[in-house]
């Protein structure tokens, strides 16, 4: 499954080239990539357009097109994503009850495993494996954050 991380990294680089936070994701079903995407927050002015959500939407479209039961398809999906899913994405993936999540580097700012225990809050456990090609994923992020996010206002001065 980890072999698909290259596909996710391709999406992350594509996001970077589009001026988005470089995170990429692919959904694997029956050993095939059925959904792929990178962050699309800036282009849509919508902070929830993370790579995982792009893939969730693509999977639903795929199920509609192929007339497959979405619930069952999600339960058979391996999520491969370059960065640990944030609390929002992790909550969505737990609620959709995907088969497993495989991620690259950790997200210590708002990771759905590193910061809070999403599985406990949602009440659903799934297999999560981290650290797959973590360094490459982290390097992409570090390089991105060296520059400024062109869509964001300057960081507010720290209170107190």
Q: Which of 32, 150, 153, 158 binds another protein (CB under 8 A)?
A: 153
CA 136 vs. chain centroid, Å, equals 15
Rounded-to-integer distance, Cα 160 and Cα 143, Å: 29
Is 69 a binder of another protein (CB under 8 A)? no
State the nearest-atom distance from the C-beta of 4 to another protein, in Å. Answer: 22
The secondary structure of residue 1, as a DSSP letter, is -
52 has catalytic annotation = yes
Per-residue x/- track, 95-134, another protein (CB under 8 A): xx------------xx----xx-x--xxx-----------
Q: Return the residue matching tokens 């192929």.
A: 66
Residues 6+ apart with CB under 8 A from 47: 41
| Helix 51-66, helix 87-96: angle, nearest 10 | 30
Is 152 a binder of another protein (CB under 8 A)? yes
- Note the residues at the interface with another protein (CB under 8 A): 40, 43-49, 53, 56-57, 60, 70, 86-89, 91-92, 95-96, 109-110, 115-116, 118, 121-123, 151-154, 156
Q: Annotated active-site positions, please?
A: 52
């Amino acid at each position: 499954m980890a072999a698909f991380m290259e596909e996710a990294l391709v999406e992350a680089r594509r996001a970077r080239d589009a001026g988005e936070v470089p995170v990429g994701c692919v959904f694997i079903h029956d050993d095939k990539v059925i959904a792929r995407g990178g962050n699309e927050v800036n282009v849509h002015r919508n902070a929830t357009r993370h790579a995982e959500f792009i893939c969730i939407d693509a999977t639903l479209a795929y199920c509609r097109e192929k007339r497959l039961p979405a619930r069952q398809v999600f339960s058979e999906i391996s999520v491969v994503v370059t960065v640990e899913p944030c609390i929002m994405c992790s909550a969505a993936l737990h609620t959709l009850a995907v088969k497993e999540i495989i991620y690259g580097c950790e997200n210590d700012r708002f990771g759905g495993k590193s910061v809070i225990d999403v599985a406990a809050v949602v009440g659903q456990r799934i297999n999560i494996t981290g650290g797959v090609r973590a360094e490459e994923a982290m390097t992409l992020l570090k390089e991105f954050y060296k520059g400024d996010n062109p869509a964001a206002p300057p960081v507010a001065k720290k209170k107190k």
